[in-house]
Structure 1
Amino acid sequence: MSRDTPFTVPCFIEGAWQETAEAAERQGPYHRHVVSIASQADAALVEVAVKAAIAGRGSVATLSPSDRADILERAADLTDQRSDEIAERLALELGKPVRDGRGEALRVAATFRIAAAETRRLGGSVLPAEGWPLGRGSTVLTRSTPVGVVLAITPFNAPANLLAHKLAASFAGGNSTIIKSPPQAPASTAIVVEIALEAGVPAEAIQLLHGGADIGAQLCAAPGIGAVAFTGSAAAGAAVARAAGPKRTVLELGGNAATIVHADADVAKAAAACARTGYSNSGQSCISVQRVYVHSSRFDEFVTAFTGHVNNLVVGDPLDPATEVGSMVDDQAASRVASWVEEAVAEGGTVPTGGVRSNATVTPAVVLKPPASAKVVREEIFGPAVVVLGYDDLDQVVEECNASRYGLQAGLFTHDVGTIFDLWRRLEVGALVINGPSNHRLDHIPFGGVKDSGIGRESPAFMIEDFMTTSTLHLRGISLWSESEISSAPNRTERETP
């Protein structure tokens, strides 16, 4: 297929790709032409999809963990084979450089393999029922069972890997999955679904819908869905939680991550790492380096090194393998970032480089010492701008970091073990990265935050648990320890239960 020919992206419902009466075009933010045309779901199709997902639960639940793991490993192999295709779709739909897109494809494959390994560990337990007098003569077993149907609502910034996390964990746990794609990345979503189906995920166990927030809200509220996994903004996450009601939810939301460069840090290493990860994917990551707090004794040294690295970043066509910073998701997002940088300057900050907008591209901006009230400090930038602030006292930094309504991840450059453990105790974040920036993630490690950064942890092991329930089996009169009968002690619970 020519790069100038748009991808046609149907919905996948009841085991078949289906086009609908209404379609939405996605214009690529860098190349400025239509790159995908996605069939749009309506309220009636949502109901069909939910019924189909409920009906398809058994096709996964009855597969052994070994069978599910084999399918996930095949999905990983197929992802490796199609990594260039995934990267190209991400570049065309989102402006993500192909070098980053290939990295995302590698992570998709890794996520499938990690989920496969966790699937092989599924089991249950024998509880210590006879450790208490009323449990004498009883054996109690537990096993993990699927919640049934998982709804996965994915974002635009890493649509392939964040879908892989949700879909792989749902399937590993024995569930069917309904996927609501981001409007900005329907083709990048569909390729992951294609891979899962080719690998052997039963067709009746996946439903893919395209549409806006109204479709997502209807799906969240639909009866029969056992769990909702959402990645997106804090405001959208709150709306998802309200619509979902008492359903299980895993919400991975926003952040305005801080990285601290202490007095004893390797400044050269810190500057290079912050420049590399502060602008990858044009800063459109919830853990992107946004605020860098540098000890005053090292501030000038850091700024010089950091600005030098930023000026050397290659900005341009996301399809060019040399490009390090492509475009943002759309013109509106780019305009917002450029305006926030301008506001920071008006409020007293300085910008030695970057912040220049052309269509959906913003050149990497360095913002020095804006006031704490500036949006670039207080809110989530989600764009190619990094704020650098000085400090003299770590208590001050901890206070400023914890004042944020977000708490996803932080970075800390230091060699002092006491400082490491002190800040790990005091910083209100889901994870602290030592001698690395905030923008660091391993897909097999629990990922998530506190406060407005979300609920739950996103990694296969933790998400599989979120997508399963515990079923308990009481065996009365059967003891693992003796041949004795059920305890003759009065069972008050039995007598008092109506």
Structure 2
Amino acid sequence: MTDLQISGDDIQVHSPTDGALLGSVPRTGFNEINTMVERAAAAASSYRRTPAHERAEHLRAAATAVERCRADLIDDLVRGLGKPRKFSAVEANRGSDMLLRCAAELSSLGGETLPLDAVVGGECRTGLTWREPLGVVAAVTPFNAPINLTLQKVGPALAMGNAVIVKPSPEAALVVERLVVAINEALPDGLLQVVHGHADTVLNLVRHELVDAVSLTGGVAAGEAVLREAGIKPVLLELGSNAPNIVLADADIEDAAHRIVTAAFGASGQQCISAQRILVEHTAKDKFVEAFVAAASALVVGDPNDAATDIGPMIHARSRDRVTALIDDAVDRGAKLALDGRADSLYLGPTVLMDPPKGTRLLQEEAFGPVATVQGVDGLDDALRWANSVDVGLQASCFTTDINKAFAAARGLRAGSVWINESTRFRLDTYPFGGVGRSGLGREGVRYAMESFSQMKFVGFRH
């Protein structure tokens, strides 16, 4: 009912709440991509010489334009993606803030002076470094947080003087179109464009010889395909996860349970850092499960437009069926259901599975849905073994009041980011965010993305 439909050259976008047709966008053909990349390259060539204070002013004006259409963007998220209104409002607010942070960072991001006479033969020589734009950046984004995940690439790239071509998920085509139109009110022509399509569109874009860098947020398979096709250019990848949340017996169990419930099930668990695996020390397991299941049972599943709703629909039937298959696999292997949210509709409720055995798919694959596993562990070392047993490591967490165990967890968890006494779902745009292993390459976060979307130049002086 809600799967993406292709009609001629148009991509039709349907609401996951009721299947209604919300609109359509034209698929971008190969010749159009070529024309758009050439236009972006010309714009980037000019914009690279624009002073930082003017680029900052463009970003501030873009933030104002995004704020003006904030209500419409929220409606797009609710209606078009089934994202509960409370989470949609948070995302829309964070979008304009991202642009303002990029503008502010331009006043402090610089280079350094190198004392070349520290090396024999370097006498009477001084070195300087500064950062220069890359050129044209291809930004490939998913459906689940289209405002944030687009602006986390667009803002830093524009700040450093690049042009950007965004390729959004087809499901998020309409909201990203609105976002790009708003931002373009504040930008010179050609700096920000959007293309629409599927995997072939992505590959045609990223392999183009005038595309100088690629940033993708998506699945591991998509990241591998882009990495193969992009050629010799910077590629930033923020890919899959199966986030572990460790709860030790000395932790505040009630607090941990409530924080992890929101992290596991809010917005249908359709976030790469949703709390999927929960590893609880045996002596605290019963208390944790009681509090966790009670909090999960209290979550409201229903109309995403209702302010009280915590969990709306899955994005489409394919996602619903994939999550259901993962739950069925765990049950078939012997996991016990503490809470069963399976449904024939797209409105899956929270599902909690107890002690799935090794080999269970949920312990290895990203669910991207409202499902979490709870496993008993013998202590921190045992928890770390389970936590690090997957080949992805985006974000991890540990709840404990013991400072020594907190540092041991921080050092021992194989992940790009580790939170202590906070769930894996928590994220700010001011710290370096990215994964290890098959979770990706590079780091996002305002300053770190700005560095990634620029290149360092060295200049030496003999005097």
CA distance in 1, matches of 2:113, 2:52: 19
Contact 2:113 2:126 survives alignment (8 Å) = yes
1:223 and 2:209 correspond: yes
| Cα distance, 1:361 vs structure 2 | 1.9
| Cα distance, 1:21 vs structure 2 | 7.5
| Cα distance, 1:107 vs structure 2 | 1.2
1:68 and 2:31 correspond: no
1:285 and 2:271 correspond: yes
Alignment of 1:106-121 (within 5 A): 106-121=93-108
Deviation readout 1:342-385 (Å, 9 max, x if unpaired): 22111111112233223322111111111121111121111000
Deviation readout 1:375-398 (Å, 9 max, x if unpaired): 111211110001111111322211
1:470 alignment partner, one of 443, 453, 456: 456
2:137 alignment partner, one of 141, 150, 158: 150
Alignment of 1:88-237 (within 5 A): 88-198=75-185, 200-237=186-223
CA distance in 1, matches of 2:257, 2:70: 31
| Cα distance, 1:256 vs structure 2 | 0.2
Call closer, same or farther: CA 1:339–1:355 in 2, change over 3 Å.
farther
Unaligned 5+ segments in structure 1 are: 1-19, 479-498
Task: Tell me which amino acid in the other structure corresponds to 1:52.
Answer: R
Match of 2:336 in 1: 350
Contact 1:105 1:160 survives alignment (8 Å) = yes
Task: Tell me which amino acid in the other structure corresponds to 1:203.
Answer: D
2:303 alignment partner, one of 302, 317, 321: 317
2:441 alignment partner, one of 437, 443, 455: 455
Alignment of 1:345-384 (within 5 A): 345-384=331-370
Identical-pair percentage:
35
Q: Secondary structure at the match of 2:112?
A: strand
Q: Which has the larger radius of gyration?
A: 1
| Cα distance, 1:36 vs structure 2 | 2.4
Match of 1:298 in 2: 284
Contact 1:330 1:360 survives alignment (8 Å) = yes
| Cα distance, 1:58 vs structure 2 | 3.0
Match of 2:430 in 1: 444
Contact 1:354 1:362 survives alignment (8 Å) = no
| Cα distance, 1:456 vs structure 2 | 0.6
Unaligned 5+ segments in structure 2 are: 1-6
Task: Tell me which amino acid in the other structure corresponds to 2:134.
Answer: V
Call closer, same or farther: CA 1:310–1:220 in 2, change over 3 Å.
same
2:19 alignment partner, one of 11, 32, 35: 32
Contact 1:372 1:378 survives alignment (8 Å) = no
Q: Secondary structure at the match of 2:171?
A: coil
Match of 1:483 in 2: none
Task: Tell me which amino acid in the other structure corresponds to 1:285.
Answer: Q
Call closer, same or farther: CA 1:224–1:354 in 2, change over 3 Å.
same
1:419 and 2:424 correspond: no
Deviation readout 1:285-309 (Å, 9 max, x if unpaired): 1110001111111111111111111
Contact 2:63 2:183 survives alignment (8 Å) = no
After TM superposition, the runs of 4+ consecutive aligned structure 1 residues lying more than 4 A away are none
Contact 1:178 1:207 survives alignment (8 Å) = yes
After TM superposition, the structure 1 stretch with the greater mean CA deviation from structure 2, 285-294 or 386-395, is 386-395
Q: Secondary structure at the match of 1:134?
A: coil
CA distance in 2, matches of 1:178, 1:268: 45
Alignment of 1:18-29 (within 5 A): 22-29=9-16
CA distance in 1, matches of 2:252, 2:125: 60
What's the C-alpha RMSD, in Å, of the aligned pairs? 1.4
CA distance in 2, matches of 1:301, 1:68: 53
TM-score (norm 1): 0.89
Match of 1:487 in 2: none
Contact 2:78 2:84 survives alignment (8 Å) = yes
Match of 2:4 in 1: none
Contact 1:36 1:186 survives alignment (8 Å) = no
CA distance in 2, matches of 1:357, 1:43: 41
CA distance in 1, matches of 2:160, 2:248: 43
After TM superposition, the structure 1 stretch with the greater mean CA deviation from structure 2, 54-63 or 239-248, is 54-63
Q: Secondary structure at the match of 1:411?
A: strand
CA distance in 1, matches of 2:68, 2:326: 41
CA distance in 2, matches of 1:411, 1:113: 29
CA distance in 1, matches of 2:89, 2:70: 6
CA distance in 2, matches of 1:434, 1:81: 37
Q: Secondary structure at the match of 2:137?
A: strand
Contact 2:137 2:163 survives alignment (8 Å) = yes
1:41 alignment partner, one of 19, 24, 28: 28
Match of 1:16 in 2: none
Task: Tell me which amino acid in the other structure corresponds to 1:204.
Answer: G
1:252 alignment partner, one of 238, 250, 262: 238
Contact 1:347 1:370 survives alignment (8 Å) = yes
Q: Secondary structure at the match of 1:290?
A: strand
Contact 2:66 2:183 survives alignment (8 Å) = no
Task: Tell me which amino acid in the other structure corresponds to 2:9.
Answer: E
Contact 2:180 2:193 survives alignment (8 Å) = no
Deviation readout 1:458-494 (Å, 9 max, x if unpaired): 1111111111112222222x2xxxxxxxxxxxxxxxx
CA distance in 2, matches of 1:132, 1:276: 55
